[in-house]
Structure 1
Amino acid sequence: MPRKTTVDRLIRGRIKQGNETKRNKKEVRVKRAEKAVEARKLRSGRTSFTQAIIEQKMKESSTQTTINNLIDASYCIGRYFTTNLVKTIKKKESNFATFIQDKNGLYCTNIQQVITKRVQRLFDNEMLKYSNDQICIVLSGDKGGDQLANTSKFGFFISTNVAPNSYRNFSFLSCWKGDDGRNNQEIWLKNILQQINSINIVKLINGTVFKIEW
């Protein structure tokens, strides 16, 4: 068998490098195509309520710090508790919210503080809607659809003067892998509801106190 010369090795190396470059370019094209499809779906309004939250909040909150002890696995949708949803919660709520989580979901442990911070921001920006020192907070749940199937979310909206039902005003309190059946609600909402039952007022920095209508 003839010995491989330096030229042979160079040729084989360049062929191998060329094949790797082709594979890399193909992967890039596939990723770009996937992103283009998602962008078209978002623009056409066919994405779910939750997907819209994810896309918007990941853009708005890219510089915020992360929450310790949250899921940090590879990106996946559908079969597992969706990681990009968790990343959204990290970025959107991480400056004042704390969570307890495991591989199947998470829930907020300091709802009073979260509500106070949200109300304070709205009040400071003259967006808070109130009457007779009373504000309205609406609890809302959402079972994932489309690409986020098999996940359920729970949170709240604070009544505002501008687009009160916009997903931009939604605050996460809990989300988990699975449906919104009774068993899952007992697991993921028990602590949430116990906290909410004890929250009747919110006090702002200037001393203003608002009663909460749930």
Structure 2
Amino acid sequence: AGWYTEVLAPVLRTCGTLHAAHFSPASDVPYFRKSLENYKQKLADQPRVYDAVVLSVLQPPTFTRMISPGTADRVLTFRNVHNWLKSGTAEAVFASSFEALKPGGIFGVVEHRAKPGTSLERMIESGYVTEATVIELAENAGFQLVARSEINANPLDDTNHPKGVWTLPPTLRLGEEDKMKYLAIGESDRMTLKFQKPIND
């Protein structure tokens, strides 16, 4: 939707380029097309902030090249891995991220964190993914794990909710039911992982 664009675009406007990999305008999924339309409108509404953002397409299996190979300094993804697992495209996206980066480039992943040992079926259902799964996907693509951070951790989140991660804010899928309880927990417990494309690759 553009929350991270609001953070990154002003920083990179004068010292880099933000490439925003989004859905295809030709997608047969109405939600994807509407999401892209809304994002484009967001950019158009504030040209002084977003005029330098470059829009590309990342929607495997058809669109897997978000930028020219070996040209990106950083690839960042926020709370997307569960969606890619559900669609069966996680391996393709991780491979695309590896391809996009320069040798030595950084791949940053933030994702809702499942308890160790959670099944793939439960990960897809709940939106929470194990760190081991993310690390395995990254390493299989060629990345090396170089750092972890607890900056997005939430020890109040036990990850066991009726509507998965969407039970918590900001979605609050149960509406008014136990709303104060979930607001008190806050947003999901999240892993923050830093990977690197080997310099000699």
Category of TM-score, reference length = shorter chain: under 0.3
Please, what TM-score do these two structures have when normalized by structure 1? 0.25
Structure with greater proportional helix content: 1
